[in-house]
Structure 1
Amino acid sequence: MSETPIANPVNPAANTGNSADPKPTKRAWVVLGILCFVYILNFLDRQLLAILAKPIQDTLNISDTQLGLITGLYFAFFYCFIAIPVGWLADRTHRVGILSLACGIWSAATLACGLAKSYPQLVIARMTVGFGEAGGVPPSYAIITDYFPKGNRGRALSIFNLGPPIGAALGIAFGAAIAAAFSWRMAFIVLGGIGIVTAIGVALFVKEPPRGAFDKVSDQERQEKAKFWETLKMFFSRKSLMLAALGSGSTQFITYGLGNFTTLYLMRDKGMTLSEVALWYSLIVGFGMGAGILVSGWAIDRFTRKSKQAYALVPAASLALAIPFYLAFVWAPTWEWSLIFLIGPMFLNYFYLSSSVALVQEEVKPNQRVMSGALLLLVMNFIGLGLGPTYVGAASDFFRADFPENSLQIALFTLTPFYVFAIILFLWLAKVLKKESEDAAAAV
């Protein structure tokens, strides 16, 4: 069976025959920049409702529980489960086309959020945002993996994963600034319009790369269409993939539970204004989270060359270091001290992301990458995005009867045990990866 690489006009380095050290092309970096911008819009639109929670609550008279549901479970239900058939379709068809269509859908739905006159209308628009965003990230993972050779993917995926911190920071800065100057509705309308234009740009300027061009697979494997049930069974039967997904989900329970209520917490409990949030909180998110994701990508590429266990040990160590900073952030008596301590969790909480994504993309066949990425997102986002904010909102309302002045603070304190749970799962993953490496070495 032939293993000669197919001609690759998108990545000429793959055609040279020098498979020892292929390099990403200039086009690859341009495409990465475009996909990162799409991810910025993806995350910006996703976080905008949480950022503008206070004025939306005041306008539509919704409770913390309702806010947790609309930013968490209602959104995640469509976002997580629609991603599976979308991922399967993308593995068999045109990934760039699906990404462009998805961007158009979620952007139009974001615009509709700004037009909502009631909580049910906002729920419908929000769920449609989740439907569209289901086709955003998994195809991008696979496109990037086929533009960048092994040894460069951790760095490339970490740059792509700057989408969340940049999107969150811009959402805080511009979303809060627009809301303060005009209204929260205008923020949704403006950002939705930008997304629709971007969707057209993706279709025009991003070329579909050949599947598996940098991977040692046969021509037949490259051309083979992924089977839905086979990919599903493969993912859920691989202990390493499931532990990566569960460890990531436990971490996201913290990051989304915290992130979707931080603005409300800082404004309601600490006395910050929208203008102060737009400046100071956006800087903490942008630089803290962004630096953490960039450093994590460098660490993954560096340490996984020596041992595959680094995919698990790097996020486990970062989460252990984050715990005291997180407790100090929730405890701090003023918003100034809270933001100073928040730098720690913002930097350390996100090492898991590039690590888990890179592990999954490396471990599966090229024609299973989009659906495998979607399955990773299904598990970690249903746990984290679906249940994290829902839990924090319900806990805040539960504690309000006895602690009316600081119920949200107590709810945030109760997220701490999930740090420990996530660390245990990543340490378990490290043990599994070590055994897999030993078994592979013994089989040679």
Structure 2
Amino acid sequence: MSATSVQISGEGPVNVGGFRYVLWVLMFTCALNFLDRQIVNILAEPIKGEFDLTDLQLGLLTGFAFAAFHALLSIPIARFADRTNRSFVIAGSMGIWSLATAACGLAASFSQLLIARMFVGLGEAGGIAPAHALIADYAPKEKRARALAFYSIGIPLGGLLGMAMGGLVMDAYGWRTAFFIAGVPGLLLAPLLAVTVRDPRILKMAANPPVPPIPFRKALSEMLSKKAFLLVTVAGAIQMLVGFGQAAFIASFFFRVHGAALSNIASSIGTILGVAFGAAAFLGLALGLCRGVTGIAGMLIGGQVTDRIAGQGYRAYTTIPALIALLRVPIIVAALLVDDVLLALALIAAQWFFSGVGTIGGFAAIQGLVHPRSRATAAAVYALGINLIGLGVGPLVVGMLSDLIASDGRGPAEGLRWALVISSGLLIPVSLLYWAARDLISQESVS
């Protein structure tokens, strides 16, 4: 693998080796981040049954319990990462969240499982933001969206692995074993990352006097002074409220609304293959492949298209997400209302594809709006909105709506269906916010 010249903070380039290797390793850390974060979604129904939970409690478990610690610690950890070796920060964080994921399988009560999920959030607070900053230092800005897109394919890949592995293991050995298995890969990858992925800023500091870190107040002031930063952050938070809120309950939706059809399809496949094959295994594989294949394709295409158009001006960073958000609304609603389970899965796959295309612009925009030495902090502030509002509030909103509609006599299946339909409408203000940032993004980008 060839060496790469990296420009740090406007100074001379640093030669570092194996940028492709670094991207691959960081992409796999992202995949494990989202595998451990989202595996609980496919396991939600048996957990709900064992602990006799409401949908609101499921929302707490799948979203807020994780997001509370994640949001609380993401900025302090990002500030620490902006001052030290970001590779070590990512590796240490991965070790914590992997152990916490395995600990979920030992929970004897809802409260114990809630606490374990909080520690997953604590660990993952040090995963994404330092990685974004590391990649932004490696990649020239004309290739930044593509590099971040490649890293971000770990999101759908983690969803694929979490859904597929979670469903198969749950059918065969139960939901607790699925948590145990999910925690193992991160414990193996963390030391490899720490030893083999170099932080170019540390190399620069070894050759020159260290540059004092930008004070947090000054970094935050820079972000808050950028209207584009505020618009993109709010849009991203609401966008993820819809995404995480629906992801937390999409498996439950299919079990409740299409349960009989899933069992019939799984039985037919099992007969053909001559093996025991349950509804959870089929749905896990189906949703995993839908999320993984289409999400990866969407992110890679989104990165290529965004960089190509952004070469003529940074407006593409928000124009593409604005158009995509509007396009997703009718696709999601159709997926929730059709009677045919296979058609519903195909439509869900289509909306995940477009979601991938529309995600990259926000990530790239944030990295270009701030000074290079504030990049991890900026990514953490952006992630604060995504995780506290998106992941923390999204599943709670969908869960509360579901319980409310179900209590009106419609039952848990229709309650969940219409809660998901209603939440899709929030993508309309997302589109308007991104559109409002189109001209500002070109004026305010600095790196």
- What's the RMSD between the two structures over aligned residues? 2.2
Report how many residues are paired. Answer: 419
1:280 corresponds in structure 2 to: 286
Instruction: Choose from 149, 153, 156 the match for 2:144.
Output: 153
User: Hey, what does 1:44 align to over in structure 2?
Assistant: 35
Residue of structure 2 in register with 1:34 after alignment: 25
Give deviations 1:382-430, integer Å, cap 9, x for gaps: 2211111110011101111221141100101111221101001001111
Amino acid at match of 1:428: A
1:382-393 counterparts in 2 under 5 A?
A: 382-393=388-399
* Matching of residue 401 in structure 1 with residue 407 in structure 2: yes
1:247 equivalenced with 2:235 (yes/no): yes
Q: Quick one: which of 70, 87, 90 aligns to 1:96?
A: 87
The match for 1:196 is 187
Report what 2:426 is aligned to.
418
Per-residue CA deviation, residues 66-96 of structure 1 (Å, 9 max, x unaligned), is: 0001111221111112000000011011111
CA distance in 1, matches of 2:170, 2:376: 36
Change (3 A) 1:80 1:140: same
Q: Please tell me whether the aligned partners of residues 82 and 131 of structure 1 are also in contact (alpha carbons under 8 angstroms).
A: yes
Residue 5 of structure 1 corresponds to: none
* Stretch moving more, 117-126 or 285-294: 285-294
Secondary structure, counterpart of 1:13 in structure 2: strand
CA contact (8 A) 2:149 2:299 kept: yes
- Say which SS state the counterpart of residue 25 (structure 2) adopts: helix
Amino acid at match of 1:118: S
TM, length-normalised to structure 1: 0.90
Matched, 1:316 2:322: yes
Secondary structure at the aligned position of 2:242 is classed as helix
2:230 maps to 1:226 = no
Letter in 2 for 1:63: T
Any idea what the Cα deviations from partners look like across 1:360-391, whole Å, max 9, x if unmatched? 11221121111111011001222211111110
Q: Which among 357, 376, 379 is matched to residue 382 of structure 2?
A: 376
Is 1:13 aligned with 2:5?
Answer: yes
Distance 1:436 1:89 in 2: 26
Structure 2: how far apart are the matches of 1:432 and 1:309? Answer: 8
Q: Which residue of 1 aligns with 2:155?
A: 164
Q: Could you list the runs of 5+ residues in structure 2 that have no partner in the other structure?
A: 263-278
CA contact (8 A) 1:88 1:226 kept: no
Shift of the 227–115 alpha-carbon distance from structure 1 to 2, 3 Å rule, reads same
2:274: which partner in 1? none
Kept in 1: contact 2:6–2:16 (CA 8 A): no
Report the 3-state secondary structure (helix = DSSP H, G, I; strand = E; otherwise coil) of the residue aligned with 1:307: coil
Secondary structure of 2:201's match? coil
Alignment-derived partner of residue 275 in structure 2: none
Q: Answer whether contact 2:245 2:396 (CA < 8 A) is retained.
A: yes
Q: Distance in 2 between matches of 1:434 and 1:168?
A: 33
Q: Deviations over 1:310-346 (max 9, x none)?
A: 1110111111221221110011113212111112211
Alignment partner of 1:351 is 2:353: no
Name the aligned partner's letter for residue 349 of structure 2: I
- Cα distance in 2, alignment partners of residues 332 and 24 from structure 1: 55
Aligned amino acid, residue 324 of structure 1:
P
CA distance in 1, matches of 2:122, 2:5: 37
Q: CA deviation at 1:25?
A: 7.3
CA contact under 8 A between 2:167 and 2:282: conserved in structure 1? no
Residue 14 of structure 1, CA deviation: 4.6
CA deviation map 1:282-309 (0-9, x unaligned): 1111111111111110111100111211
Structure 1: gaps spanning 5 or more residues: 1-9, 214-218
Determine whether 1:116 maps to 2:93. Answer: no
DSSP-derived class of the 1:92 partner:
coil
CA distance in 2: counterparts of 1:141 and 1:307, whole angstroms: 21
Give the Å deviation of 1:43. Answer: 0.3
In 2, distance between residues paired with 1:133 and 1:291? 25
- Please name the residue that 2:301 is paired with: 295
Q: Is the 8 A contact 1:251 1:422 kept in 2?
A: yes
The Cα of 1:130 is off from its aligned counterpart by: 0.2
180 and 24 in structure 1: CA distance in 2 versus 1, 3 angstrom threshold: farther
Give yes or no for contact 1:169–1:285 (8 Å, CA) kept in 2.
yes
Distance 1:352 1:81 in 2: 27
TM score, norm. by length of structure 2:
0.89
* Alpha carbons 1:300, 1:314 under 8 Å: kept: yes
